[in-house]
Amino acid sequence: MQLIMAFMKVVSISNQKGGSGKSTTAVNLSAYLALARKKVLLIDLDPQGSLTTHFGIDKRSLEKTMYEVLSGRASLSDVIKPTETEGLDITPTNNLLGRAEFELFSQEERELVLKSKMVGLRDYDYVIIDTPPNLYNLTLNALMASNTIMIPIDSTFYALEGLVVITELLDAIENDLGHAIIRRYLLTKYDARTNLSKEVERKLRDLFGEAVFKTVIPTNIRLAVAPSYGKPIYAVDPESIGAQAYNRLAEEVLHE
């Protein structure tokens, strides 16, 4: 299974706190990486299917999804679909994926099911995995298949509180399961006019230093409306501050 790590970078975008900009980051980071001529696979591992909806895919029409992959009824290649962005593919999902949270409990090495499905997946430079807003089986599978976790942190009063929980999980994965994951942090929904955003940024950089991306993602209405067009932000309003921020984030990721 280690072969997959040698060929591509696998990034889980995860935070158990809802509303942190997780799915928005997955969509737009992936799109800008593809625009930089990288081959990118976007895995929708959230039963809400926000990524699937964002790309205008009708979830009711899907015959095979990530649920079928995790339940052994399909391979990843069976469910991969191209998007309108050249070089960017997606494995869609629907609410059936919620069943997998419970069904995984009965499987041997249940934390490694997704990773086993990715063996031999060599056509991509990056795999970006969007996870549910919790730290249960689906998220654990994503983390065990990843070499990096990107944690979006919205610039709100309670933003840093949940980091203790996810940090403890990452420590346990490293200490108990022997899988070390690079940890990166991304400030989202940032409003430079407020002292609160500035204070959250100061604390985050004091705690994690260079593990925090230089780029911050601002509060931007264009980012919020882009899903209604079924497109990433670059195809809706490339000059918006949100689009420019995700472009800079992709440049940071590419230069690591």
Asked whether residue 102 is domain-assigned, the answer is: yes
Q: Which domain holds residue 181?
A: 3-248
Instruction: Answer whether residue 48 is part of any domain.
Output: yes
Dump pLDDT digits (tens) for 20-73. 899 999 999 999 999 999 999 999 999 999 999 999 999 989 999 999 999 999
Predicted confidence (pLDDT) per residue in 195-227, tens digit: 999 999 999 999 999 999 999 999 999 999 999
Give the number of domains in the chain: 1
Cα–Cα dist 38/61, whole Å: 29
Instruction: Report the CATH number at residue 63.
Output: 3.40.50.300
Longest dimension (CA), the chain: 51
- Nearest of 21, 14, 12 to residue 156 by alpha carbon: 21
Residue 72 lies in a domain: yes
| Residue 253 located in a structural domain | no
- On the CB side of 35, CA atoms within 13 Å amount to 18
Class of residue 161 by CB neighbours under 10 A (exposed 0-12, middle 13-18, buried 19+)? exposed
Structural domain includes residue 91: yes
Does residue 179 sit within a domain? yes
